[in-house]
Structure 1
Amino acid sequence: MALLAGSGIVAVVLWQHSYDMDERRVTIRRDGHTLHAVLTAPRGGGGKPRPLVVVIHGDGPVDATHEDGYKPLWEAYARAGYATLSWSKPGVGGAPGDWLGQSMADRAAEAVAAIGWARSQEGVDPDRIGLWGASQAGWVLPKIVERTPVDFVIAVAPAVNWLRQGRHHLLAELRKRGASPATVDEEIARSDLTRRLLARGASFEEYTRAMGGPGEMTAGRWGFITRNHTADVTADLPALRGVPLLLMLPGQDVHVDTAETGTVYRRELAAGGGLTVRHYPDAAHTLVRAELGESGPALTLTALLAPRSLFAKDALGDQERFLRGLRETERPVRGD
Structure 2
Amino acid sequence: MNERLRRLVRIGLAVLLVVTGSAGWIVGQNEYALRERQVTITGGAQPLQGVLALPKRGHGPFGLVVFVHGDGPVDATHETFYRPIWEALAQAGYASLAWDKPGVNGAPGNWLAQSMDDRARETADAIAWARQLPDIDPDRVGLWGASQAGWVMPKVAAADPRLRFMIAVSPAINWLQQGRYNLLAELAAAHATPVEVDAALGRRERNLELLRRGAGYAEALAAGAADGMSAERWGFAERNFTSDASADLARVRIPVLLMLGGRDVNVDVADTEAGYRSHLPVPALLQIARYPNATHSLVPAWIENSGVLSTLVAVFAPRRLYTPGALTAQRDFVARVGG
TM range (shorter): over 0.9
Helix, strand or coil: the match of 2:209? helix
* Counterpart in the other structure of 1:81: 93
Deviation of the 1:307 alpha carbon: 0.7
Pairing of 1:1-336 with structure 2 (within 5 A): 6-46=19-59, 48-148=60-160, 149-211=162-224, 215-241=227-253, 243-269=254-280, 271-293=282-304, 296-327=307-338
Deviation of the 1:31 alpha carbon: 3.4
Helix, strand or coil: the match of 2:183? helix
Percent identity reads 49
Q: Residues of 1 paired with 2:261 and 2:210: CA distance? A: 32
CA pair 5-85 structure 1, distance change in 2 beyond 3 A: closer
Indicate conservation of the 8 Å contact 1:33/1:113, yes or no: no
Task: Report how many aligned residue pairs link the two structures.
Answer: 325
Q: Which runs of 5+ in 1 are unaligned?
A: 330-336
Helix, strand or coil: the match of 2:104? coil
For residues 194-220 of structure 1, the C-alpha deviation after alignment (integer angstroms, 9 at most, x for no partner) is 1111111111111112226x5531000
CA pair 133-61 structure 1, distance change in 2 beyond 3 A: same
Q: Residues of 1 paired with 2:222 and 2:146: CA distance? A: 34
In the alignment, residue 229 of structure 1 is paired with which amino acid? F
Helix, strand or coil: the match of 1:22? strand
Q: Residues of 1 paired with 2:198 and 2:18: CA distance? A: 52
Deviation of the 1:44 alpha carbon: 2.4
Indicate conservation of the 8 Å contact 2:252/2:281, yes or no: no
Helix, strand or coil: the match of 1:223? helix
Deviation of the 1:5 alpha carbon: 5.4
In the alignment, residue 292 of structure 2 is paired with which amino acid? P
For residues 55-106 of structure 1, the C-alpha deviation after alignment (integer angstroms, 9 at most, x for no partner) is 0000000000000011010010111111000001000011100000000000
Q: Residues of 2 paired with 1:87 and 1:199: CA distance? A: 32
Give the ranges of 4+ consecutive aligned residues of structure 1 lying more than 3 Å apart after TM superposition.
Answer: 1-7
Indicate conservation of the 8 Å contact 2:260/2:290, yes or no: yes
CA pair 306-5 structure 1, distance change in 2 beyond 3 A: closer
Deviates more, 1:315-324 or 1:3-12: 3-12
Q: Residues of 1 paired with 2:309 and 2:228: CA distance? A: 26
Deviation of the 1:32 alpha carbon: 3.5
Q: Residues of 2 paired with 1:191 and 1:272: CA distance? A: 36
TM-score by length of 2: 0.92
Indicate conservation of the 8 Å contact 1:63/1:93, yes or no: yes
In the alignment, residue 187 of structure 2 is paired with which amino acid? L
Deviation of the 1:142 alpha carbon: 1.3
Indicate conservation of the 8 Å contact 1:250/1:281, yes or no: yes
Q: Residues of 2 paired with 1:117 and 1:223: CA distance? A: 29
CA pair 216-306 structure 1, distance change in 2 beyond 3 A: farther
Deviation of the 1:305 alpha carbon: 1.2
Q: Residues of 2 paired with 1:159 and 1:97: CA distance? A: 26
Q: Which runs of 5+ in 2 are unaligned?
A: 1-12
For residues 90-124 of structure 1, the C-alpha deviation after alignment (integer angstroms, 9 at most, x for no partner) is 00011100000000000000011100010000110
TM-score by length of 1: 0.92
CA pair 294-22 structure 1, distance change in 2 beyond 3 A: farther
Deviation of the 1:25 alpha carbon: 0.6
In the alignment, residue 129 of structure 1 is paired with which amino acid? V
Indicate conservation of the 8 Å contact 2:44/2:126, yes or no: no
In the alignment, residue 319 of structure 2 is paired with which amino acid? R
Helix, strand or coil: the match of 1:23? strand
Deviation of the 1:182 alpha carbon: 1.2
